[in-house]
Amino acid sequence: MTDLVLREVVVDGRLVDVRASGGAIAEIGRRLAARPGDDEVDGRRGALIPGLHDHHIHLVALAAADRSPFVGPPVVNDAAQLTTVLHQSDAALGEGEWLRAIGYHESVAGPIDRWRLDSLVPDRPVRVQHRAGGAWVLNSRGLALVGVDASTDRTGVERDGDGRPTGRLLGLDRWLRERLPPHPVPDLAAVGRRLTSYGVTGVTDATPAGAIDDLLPLAEAAARGALPQHVVATGGPGLAAVELPSPLGRGPVKLVIEDYAVPPPATVVRWMRAARDAGRPVAVHCVTRDCLRVALDAWREVGVMPGDRIEHGSVVPPDLRAVVAGMGLAVVTQPGFVLERGDRYLASVDPEDLPHLYPCRSLIEAGIPVGGSTDAPYGHPDPWRDVAAAIERRTSSGAPLGLREAVSPERALALFLTPLDAPGGTPRRVEVGAAADLCLLDGPLSSVLEDPSSRRVALTVIGGVAR
Ligand SMILES: [Zn+2]
């Protein structure tokens, strides 16, 4: 493997050259001597920073999202837009193909059920995923194809007062997938290229996968280099004790406390124990006050271990903040939701919760490690949008949302610079011995942070290789 030499780059304010060798930074200094076979890049005096880490993303869903319309804000904000997007997708698909839409939330265009979907797209099977994940709504054709009818006896198949299935299927992802035609193979190479263009060199895939088959496409794409990023995967409690396929890193076990179907506390405790039996920490999805309380109660019973974290922490009021800090838990937040979903939050969230929505600064000040993520495809996959949102705390219409939770530009960027196994820990640095996972910007860091944007990424280096 040839060495990569980045000439004339700015590291921590100093103009230097950086040599990467064998996947690590080997040398940093002024005018490093050239060696035969070096791969040289002119850094044009741009800032060189560690590559960004997205601490919570869903890679396969992101690959699929390129083919499946997104029917939530900011794309779809009312019933007319929902109709338009579904009709467009309907017209683009071949005969009999499933129309799969994601990201729905009833607050934008009202509740949907099979009959409403039938009125929008009657002639092909349709399935629409609720934005929280875990809940699907099918039209009548879709229900017939997966074998749901009045006689279906299964928890999660919602029924109306007359016992008819409404089309809503809750917590039946896996069951549903077994009844659907095989997905076209997700184009993870396209996802890899996209993340590379943002300067992302590592991610945690936070999908609560229930079967090892769900993780194989990731491992395969990572192994053949189609997905050049370092990938740590969580999987769900069912995979807690399972060895993940190489080269995936083993992250915490993902536990989902759904706000619309809060599991009994004993279940959460059982999940946590399954993770502990396998020696693994947990990453717990918590988007409401009540979910957070259930999670914290379970932690009290099972105990906390290093690496335990709260995903989203969408509502963390002061009393619970103190508990989270005292327990030593990290929070992985999505500042981009303030931008993308903030207007809807302002219209629909309990006013009591608004000041504590997607907190950032108050958590950091309380000593809680805070890591950043996009949650793509449920948020936009570009982490620089999240950096900007963490600084500005404004919704897409420009309304302020929790200005007191805004952080400095440097702190906002640091949310994405922490190690994959310690989100919110000490930000990585460009130094000798560190992994050569780097992001070269097209100007000084101070100028990039004035208006953070992935357009300023000039080059991404992963494992010492320029991508
Ligand atoms: Zn997620």
What pLDDT sits at residue 151?
Answer: 85
Q: How far is the CA of 234 from the centre of ligand 1 (A)?
A: 11
What pLDDT sits at residue 73?
Answer: 65
What pLDDT sits at residue 183?
Answer: 67
pLDDT tens readout for residues 433-444: 999 999 999 999
pTM, whole model, 2 decimals? 0.84
pLDDT tens readout for residues 22-43: 999 999 999 999 999 999 999 9
Q: How far is the CA of 96 from the centre of ligand 1 (A)?
A: 30
Q: How far is CA 317 from the centre of its chain?
A: 23
Residue list, CB under 5 A from ion ligand 1: 375
Q: How far is the CA of 129 from the centre of ligand 1 (A)?
A: 13
CA distances (Å), origin 463, targets 7, 201, 204, 229, 408? 18, 9, 17, 9, 29
Q: How far is the CA of 117 from the centre of ligand 1 (A)?
A: 26
Q: How far is the CA of 217 from the centre of ligand 1 (A)?
A: 18
Q: How far is the CA of 43 from the centre of ligand 1 (A)?
A: 35
Q: How far is the CA of 256 from the centre of ligand 1 (A)?
A: 9
Q: How far is the CA of 409 from the centre of ligand 1 (A)?
A: 24
d(CA 155, CA 147): 14
Report residues of the chain scoring pLDDT below 70.
66-67, 73-75, 183
What pLDDT sits at residue 66?
Answer: 54
Place of tokens 């944007």: 453
Place of tokens 């050259």: 17
Q: How far is the CA of 57 from the centre of ligand 1 (A)?
A: 6
Q: How far is the CA of 239 from the centre of ligand 1 (A)?
A: 17
Helix (H) or strand (E) holding 300: helix 289-302
Q: How far is the CA of 284 from the centre of ligand 1 (A)?
A: 10
DSSP class of 258: B
Q: What percent of the chain has pLDDT over 70?
A: 98
Taking the CA of residue 405 as centre, how many other CA atoms within 13 Å lie in the half-sphere pointing to its CB?
25
Coil, helix or strand for 95? coil
Q: How far is the CA of 422 from the centre of ligand 1 (A)?
A: 18
Taking the CA of residue 429 as centre, how many other CA atoms within 13 Å lie in the half-sphere pointing to its CB?
8
Q: Is the distance from CB of 275 to CB of 268 less than 8 angstroms? A: no
Q: How far is the CA of 374 from the centre of ligand 1 (A)?
A: 8
What pLDDT sits at residue 74?
Answer: 57
Task: List 29's β-bridge partners, or say none.
Answer: 17
